[in-house]
Amino acid sequence: MSDRYFFAALFLLIAIRFLHFGKQIDQPHDWRQCDTAYYIDDFYKKGVDLFYPAVCWMGASDTLALEFPLPEAIVASTWKITGRHIWIARSIFLLFFIGATYYFYKIIAFFGNEMLAKSATVIYVGSPLAFFYSRAIHIDFFVLLFTHAMVFYFLVAVKRKKFGLLVVSAIAATIGFLVKAPYVFYWCIPMMIYVVQQKALSWFLKYGWLYLTPV
Per-residue pLDDT of the chain (215 residues; tens, 9 = 90+): 788 889 999 999 999 998 888 777 777 777 777 788 888 888 898 888 877 777 665 555 556 566 788 999 999 999 999 988 999 999 999 999 999 999 999 999 999 888 999 999 999 999 998 888 898 888 899 999 999 999 999 999 999 999 999 999 999 999 999 998 888 888 989 999 999 999 999 999 988 888 887 66
Which of 122, 137, 152 represents a domain boundary (last residue)?
Answer: 137
Name which of 144, 153, 130, 204 is nearest 175 in CA terms: 144
Taking the C-alpha atoms of residue 144 and residue 125, their distance in angstroms, rounded to an integer, is 13
What local confidence, expressed as pLDDT, does residue 64 receive? 59
* 38 and 118 housed in the same domain: yes
Q: Which domain holds residue 77?
A: 1-90+114-137
Cis omega (within 30 of 0) for bond into 214: no
**pTM, two decimal places:** 0.90
What local confidence, expressed as pLDDT, does residue 215 receive? 66
Taking the C-alpha atoms of residue 135 and residue 17, their distance in angstroms, rounded to an integer, is 7
Phi/psi of residue 210, each to 5°? -55, -30
How many domains in the chain? 2
* 15 and 76 housed in the same domain: yes
* 80 and 165 housed in the same domain: no
Taking the C-alpha atoms of residue 95 and residue 187, their distance in angstroms, rounded to an integer, is 23
Tell whether 102 is covered by a domain.
Answer: no
Environment class of 99 (CB within 10 Å of its CB; exposed 0-12, middle 13-18, buried 19+) = middle
